[in-house]
Structure formats: C-alpha cells, structure tokens
A and B are shown apart, each in its own frame.
Chain A
Amino acid sequence: DAGITQSPRHKVTETGTPVTLRCHQTENHRYMYWYRQDPGHGLRLIHYSYGVKDTDKGEVSDGYSVSRSKTEDFLLTLESATSSQTSVYFCAIMVTRNEQFFGPGTRLTVL
C-alpha cells in the first residue's frame, strides 16, 4: 500500500492565524491533492500538484496556498484562517490512472 501521512492530525486555532498542514508520501508519486470535506458536499478539491514546484487550483482554492519543494511533501497553507475553513482536510496521491489513495485526514477547527 502507498504510504501517506498527514500532520497534524488535529488542530485548533484562532481566526486570523496562519496554519500549515503537511502531507508526506513514502513513494514517488507525481500527483498529489488537497481536499476538504464538509457535510453535504463530499470532498472538494482545493489544490493539486503534478510535480515539484508545479501546482494548480481546484474548485475551492480561495484562501489557500500550497507548495511542493520535494516530491514527497505537499504543504497546504491557510494564510489567515477563518471560521469557514473549519473542516476535515484530506491529502491524496494518484497511484494508478485516476485512482487516488487518501491520507488519514486532519481535523481543523478555527475559533
């Protein structure tokens, strides 16, 4: 199985503070993704990466930025967290054509 970890697994922060979530893969997959999960919406794509320093926006990218300086790490940053960004965040990697393997998730609460 693909190895993928997310850190932290839980975080509580205050409105206006910056937050960075980390996704780490132990294999060499090219494509990585960040999603948020909210009740009634399924998972929605925030940003994705198709290689080192190559990223693109998803459908809900406002208020988020990403970086990928190494193949194995994909970082998601909330520059100034808002309560509407309270969510569960999932990282994923594409393991075969269009098939994605998901990390365990990060539960973020913005007070």
Chain B
Amino acid sequence: AQSVTQLDSHVSVSEGTPVLLRCNYSSSYSPSLFWYVQHPNKGLQLLLKYTSAATLVKGINGFEAEFKKSETSFHLTKPSAHMSDAAEYFCVVSGSSNTGKLIFGQGTTLQVKP
C-alpha cells in the first residue's frame, strides 16, 4: 500500500529565507509524486509533479522538489520565501492502480513572517 507522511504540520520562516517542507512516502513500486498548494479559502493548485523523469523537478513560483528513492523522500524547497507563499501544502502520492487515485499527506501550513 502507498502512504505519505509530511514531517511538519507547521513551518514558519521569515520573508526572503529558504523554505523546506519535508515529505516521505511509502510505495511498493515507482510512484508519481505531487505537491499541491492551497491558499486560504481556495481550491488546490498543482505546484509540481514527479513522474519518473528527472529527479529534480521544477514547479511554479520558484518551488522545486527532489525525488530521492534511497531516502523515499520528496522534499519541497524554495530559495527565498515570499509573503504570498503563506498557504497549506500537500504532498501526494499516486495509488497503485491505474484509476488515478491519490493519497494525500496531512498537510503543512507555511507561515511567512515579514
């Protein structure tokens, strides 16, 4: 079975400093992995996805994530946080079938302080 664990429920950074949101996954095969972002009272937006191509994946708004199979991790990073990055972030792994079922982590709330 597939599962995903976001290691921090809440991360606080200062504007202009790096962001690191941690995600570990469990999968019995090579999965697809995603990061979604949800701004307050909004829907979910895809930040980036890994689908077995390059292990370093670049997404929107300067975010990127690196797939590390040996560590079963898919951490999300950004060199310099902006106030508009304050949101909830979800790490997501695809299910084992071809039905497109996704398994969500519990979410990490990113706070950006001025």
Contacts and interface: CB of A to CB of B under 8 A. Distances in A.
Contacts, number: 54
Given A41-B106, A97-B51, A102 B99 contact: no
Interface in B63-110: 90, 94, 99-102, 104-107
Interface residues of B, number: 21
Contacts of B56: none
Contact of A104 (B32, B43, B104): B43
Contact of A105 (B32, B43, B49): B43
Interface residues of A, number: 23
Contact of A99 (B42, B49, B90, B107): B49
Contact of B99 (A31, A90, A105): A31
Contacts of A48: 99-101
Interface in A70-98: 90, 94, 97-98
Given A42-B90, A42-B107, A43-B90, A98 B102 contact: yes
A104 B42 CA distance: 6
Interface of B: 9, 32, 34, 36, 42-46, 49, 51, 90, 94, 99-102, 104-107
